[in-house]
């Protein structure tokens, strides 16, 4: 069974701090890894990673994938209160070489930024 | 606004009852996915439909069923409800049967189900 594990489960930091969120996975037929931010209800897309070692960056957020060690990290620098959210990691994998792709989500990291 | 519409937003019902959750995908999206999010288990994939046909199945209980109609909207039916079914149920949609295929799936705001 595909497995996605995120750590830490919860993190509380002060505004301006830098945080690193972790996601490790065990899946067959890996396709891609995605990061989502969930503030109130619907998760919103942040990054999709398919290749090892290539950093994706968007403002203060960046993410990188290591397909050999089967993990990804999401970094947020100079955190702001608006970064408070649940950050979800999801891995897309297929049950065979020809289909039945599905996204498996981790339980998320709840990040709280204190002013 | 993702363009995915879910109704109802909130629902409170008693154990043993049956409810139907409704989802309208983004315009042009052929795939609909259903996810269940509870406090301790994160987002659990339930089922996917593509253009009216079941495409992939996750950890969906036998008491739950879903379908996608010709106009591409989808319904998730939950029956013989138990307290443990209380959760946020998300619908998501994407253009193709492959969840990402270079794009992403787009989530609705969710339907919050409370079973009492």
Interval B25-65: pLDDT, tens = 999 999 999 999 987 777 898 999 999 999 888 889 999 99
Q: What is the model's pLDDT at position B102?
A: 44
How many percent of chain A have pLDDT more than 70? 94
Find out whether B39 and A110 touch, Cβ atoms under 8 Å: no
Nearest-Cα residue of chain A relative to residue B58: A102
Over residues A19-46, mean pLDDT:
91
- Angstroms from A31 CA to nearest CA on chain B: 9
Alpha-carbon distance of A92 to A2, in angstroms, equals: 10
pLDDT digits (tens, 9 = 90+) for A87-110: 999 998 876 655 567 788 998 999
Strands B106-107 and B87-94: antiparallel
Q: Which of B63, B80, B48, B112 is nearest to A103 (CA)?
A: B48
From the CB of residue A50, how many other CB atoms can be counted at a distance below 10 Å? 16
Q: Which of A13, A1, A9 is nearest to A88 (CA)?
A: A9
* Cβ contact, residue pair A105, B42, below 8 Å: yes
All residues of chain A having their beta carbon less than 8 Å from the beta carbon of residue B107 are 42-44
* Helix (H/G/I), strand (E/B), else coil: B11: strand
């Amino acid at each position: 069974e595909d497995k996605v594990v995120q750590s830490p489960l919860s993190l509380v930091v002060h505004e301006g701090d830098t945080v690193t969120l972790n996601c490790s996975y065990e899946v067959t037929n890996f396709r891609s890894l995605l990061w989502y931010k969930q503030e109130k209800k619907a998760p919103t897309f942040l990054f999709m990673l398919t290749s090892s070692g290539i950093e994706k960056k968007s403002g203060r957020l960046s993410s990188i994938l290591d397909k050999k060690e089967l993990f990804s990290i999401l970094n947020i620098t100079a955190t702001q209160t608006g970064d408070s959210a649940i950050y979800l990691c999801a891995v897309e994998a297929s049950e065979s070489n020809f289909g039945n792709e599905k996204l498996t989500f981790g339980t998320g990291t709840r990040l709280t930024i204190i002013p | 606004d993702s363009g995915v519409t879910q109704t109802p937003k909130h629902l409170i019902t008693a154990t043993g009852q049956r409810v139907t959750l409704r989802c309208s995908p983004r315009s042009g999206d052929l795939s609909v996915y259903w996810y269940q999010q509870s406090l301790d288990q994160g987002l659990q994939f339930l089922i996917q439909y593509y253009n009216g046909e079941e495409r992939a199945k996750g950890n969906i209980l036998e008491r739950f069923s879903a379908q996608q109609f010709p106009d591409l909207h989808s319904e998730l039916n939950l029956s013989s409800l138990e307290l443990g079914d209380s959760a946020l149920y998300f619908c998501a949609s994407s253009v193709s049967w492959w969840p990402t295929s270079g794009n992403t799936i787009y989530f609705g705001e969710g339907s919050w189900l409370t079973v009492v």
